């Protein structure tokens, strides 16, 4: 594999395994990763909306895709600017819930909703897409903590509305994550430092906003 791509994938795997899976932020993450149901693409430079959308559509079209991630390692954008990209992609791809992840999301644990961006502090800016049919099937099941929690975390734009049960379960997750805040912060900082070193080594341009 191209060394640049290999580093992007390696760092994304670190985030998924050491943060998302370790702290049970997404109960489908491990299964999707191990069962090849996670589809990932990398777009370089400053992708156009067409580039984001075409990449996402291609990933979602792959048989068996449960979670699609489009990663932009060289993108220079604030979390708010990436949110605008998310909204525009979501307007084009109405069949999926779209969420944006950004490495500069600050910690704000004041409420469960305000904590979510920090939990989405991926190594690189990315958009995550989950088919709405999958999210709707989750809502139709009995409200076990992990399933309703999945809707809350992965829904993003165009996801089915959350009900009182999901809100209560998000509060349970908020309590658990804030209890582990120091460990999660240390892991995220280590991944960020790893990214800076490895991207410099393989020639991936990263610049501050």
pLDDT of residue 146: 45
Token readout for 203 is 């020639």
pLDDT at 193: 97
Distance CA 76, CA 194 (A): 19
Sorted by sequence, the CB contacts under 8 Å of residue 70 that are 6+ apart come out as 40, 41, 42, 43, 52, 55, 56, 59, 126, 127, 129
Domain that holds residue 166: 3-202
User: Beta 67-71 vs 96-101: how paired, if at all?
Assistant: unpaired
Residue 30 lies in a domain: yes
In a domain, 123, yes or no: yes
pLDDT in tens, the chain (209 residues): 899 999 999 999 999 999 988 887 776 778 888 999 999 999 999 999 999 999 999 999 999 999 999 999 999 999 999 999 999 999 999 999 999 999 998 888 788 778 888 889 999 999 999 988 765 555 555 444 444 444 444 445 444 444 444 465 466 667 777 788 889 999 999 999 999 999 999 999 887 76
116 domain-assigned: yes
Asked whether residue 140 is domain-assigned, the answer is: yes
pLDDT at position 150: 43
Sheet of strand 38-42, all strands in order from the earlier edge strand to the far edge: 38-42, 67-71, 126-131, 96-101
Q: What are phi and psi of 174, to 5 degrees?
A: -60, -45
The secondary structure element, H or E, covering residue 151 is helix 145-154
Tell me what pLDDT residue 172 has: 61
Q: Is the dihedral of CA 146, 27, 18, 156 positive or negative?
A: negative
Is 68 domain-assigned? yes
Does any domain span residue 208?
A: no
H helices, E strands: number in the chain: 9, 4
How many domains is the chain partitioned into structurally? 1
Look at residue 76 in the predicted model and tell me its pLDDT.
96
CA-to-CA distance for 153 and 170, rounded, in angstroms? 9
> How far is residue 9's CA from residue 122's CA, in Å, rounded to a whole number?
12
Residue 187 inside a domain? The answer is: yes
**Whole-angstrom distance, CA of residue 196 vs CA of residue 35:** 30
Report if residue 207 sits inside a domain: no
């Amino acid at each position: 594999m191209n060394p640049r791509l290999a580093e992007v994938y390696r760092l994304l795997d670190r985030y998924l395994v050491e943060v998302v899976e370790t702290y049970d932020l997404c109960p489908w993450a491990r299964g999707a990763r191990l069962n090849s149901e996670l589809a990932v693409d990398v777009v370089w430079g400053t992708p156009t909306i067409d580039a984001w959308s075409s990449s996402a559509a291609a990933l979602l079209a792959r048989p068996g895709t449960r979670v699609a991630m489009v990663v932009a390692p060289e993108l220079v954008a604030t979390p708010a600017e990436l949110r605008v990209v998310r909204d525009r992609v979501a307007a084009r791809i109405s069949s999926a819930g779209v969420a944006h992840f950004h490495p500069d999301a600050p910690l704000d644990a004041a409420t469960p909703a305000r904590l979510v961006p920090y939990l989405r502090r991926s190594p690189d800016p990315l958009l995550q897409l989950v088919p709405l049919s999958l999210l709707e099937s989750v809502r139709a099941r009995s409200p076990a903590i992990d399933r309703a929690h999945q809707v809350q975390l992965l829904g993003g734009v165009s996801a089915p509305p959350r009900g009182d049960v999901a809100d209560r379960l998000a509060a349970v997750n908020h309590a658990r994550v804030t209890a582990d805040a120091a460990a999660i912060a240390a892991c995220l900082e280590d991944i960020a430092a790893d990214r800076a070193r490895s991207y410099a080594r393989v020639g991936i341009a990263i610049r501050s906003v």
